[in-house]
Structure 1
Amino acid sequence: MPPTPAHPGPARPAAVINEEIRALVESGHVGSDEYLALLVEWVAAARAEQKHAA
């Protein structure tokens, strides 16, 4: 897993990351390093959006 940046920038919207995940699933790349990294990014974005909405 890549190191966490000292000053993380704004997360991309979860919906954008979700589209990339869907594309990887459709192309059969489930389980790839890119897929797993996107899942981690999606969770962080979803949490940030949820926290921001509260």
Structure 2
Amino acid sequence: MTPTPPDRGPARPAAVVNEEIRRLWPHPAVRLSSEQRARYELLVVEWAAAVRGEVVKAA
């Protein structure tokens, strides 16, 4: 069984998460550390969920 991520309260808007991703990885030529890479992966999952949530609200 896959562990459920902890509830972090209300979801952040996709634009906010995207801005954090951009600050973390300012240029594709920049190599991320393994810790930064793990954070990036979590942010991308959060961003995708936010985008899906925003599309559902708009529909």
Q: TM-score, normalised by structure 1?
A: 0.76
- Runs of 5+ in structure 1 lacking a partner? none
Say yes or no: does 1:46 pair with 2:51.
yes
1:18-29 superposed matches below 5 A = 18-26=18-26, 28=30, 29=32
**2:5 maps to what in 1?**
4
Equivalent residue pairs, number: 52
- Runs of 5+ in structure 2 lacking a partner? none
Q: Percent identity?
A: 52
1:3 is aligned with what amino acid?
T
After superposition, the CA RMSD in angstroms is 2.5
How far apart, CA to CA, are the structure 2 residues paired with 1:41 and 1:26? 18
The runs of 4+ residues in structure 1 deviating greater than 2 Å are 2-5, 7-10, 27-31
